[in-house]
Each structure stands twice: as C-alpha cells, then as structure tokens.
Amino acid sequence: MDIKYFYILLMFMVSFISIYNTEAIGFGLLFAVQTLFTIVLIIDIFQDLSRSSKSLIIEFTNNNVSIPLYLVLLPGIILQFAASLMTMMYSNYLHKKYNRVKLNRDLRWDMDRYKWMFIVVTLALLGLTYSYTSDFNNNESFTRFAGSYKSLLIVFFAISAVFPIINVTNASKLSKIMVTSTE
C-alpha cells in the first residue's frame, strides 16, 4: 500500500473524531479529506494499466464471475464524495443559522446513522484500496488468496457497493433542511 493512503487513513481518523465533537467543523474536515482521497484514488486507478486484471472472482459450480475492483471503487468513492459534500453544506447552513447543528429527533437519528455508515464505508473502501494497490501486484490472482481474506474482500465489496447509495440518500434527505427551512 502506498504511504499516501496510510496518511489519508490518519486524516480520516481525525475527521471521524471531529464529527462527533464539533459537527460543523468535523463535516468540513471530512469533506476535505474525502476530496483528497477521491482525487488520489481516481488518479491512481486511471494511471494503472492493469486495472481490469485486478478483480474479485466469485466461484460458482459451473463458472466464475470476475468483477474488477475499480468498478466498485470508483462509484463508491464518488458517491461518498457527493454525500460528504451535501452533509458539509447542510451542517454549515445549520451552524450559520443556529450557531450549532440543530436537528429534531428523527433527523438526529438519520445523521447519526449517516456518521457510522460513512465510517464503515470509508474503512471498506480503504480496505479495497489496500488490496487494489498491494495484493494484486506481480500478477497475483484472487484465487490464490486465503479463504478468510477472500471473504473479507467480498464483505468490503458488498459494503462499498450498497452503503454509499444509502449514504447519498440519507445525506440528500438531511440536506433538504436547507430548502424547507425559512429565514
């Protein structure tokens, strides 16, 4: 794994702590780190000439299904970027209006769900990024990995495919506060 992703992980850890302490600043920091992660990962994927060979292979009795990792990494990272942008915008709006992020009980529950899902998806995307940048070098095949590591990658794969969609939906619901509230 490139050292840059380790530094990005450290920055994410700081931003994860800050979203639970000072939400408006924390979401701004989270957006900044997510932007950096998005740009670095997209550049790395597009510079990789063997990106289509780095794939998850799901074995069935009759045949195998091969899904390139970049087909999950790119949509996942872009959706996380969109969710962090919407969240940063509505938290800044609420912070300017009320001097804190003021939400009713239902929206607070949605925001708490957004926070933990964002953390889980980010860790899953970083896990897939680690595998993409480190494990598939020297023409390593997915079939040569240990069974538990394959299972972990498939769990990361599923999380990275489903949770970002839920996160964007949740962030969109929360960002409607800016439209529905009046000055």
Using only C-alpha atoms, the chain has a radius of gyration, in whole angstroms, of 18
Q: Supply the pLDDT for residue 144.
A: 67
Give the length of the chain: 183
Residue 3 has pLDDT above 60, yes or no: yes
The answer to whether 31 touches 119, Cβ cutoff 8 Å, is no
In the chain, the percentage of residues whose pLDDT exceeds 90 is 40
State how far the Cα of 47 lies from the Cα of 34, in Å rounded to an integer.
20
Residue 14 has pLDDT above 90, yes or no: yes
Q: What is the pTM of this model?
A: 0.86
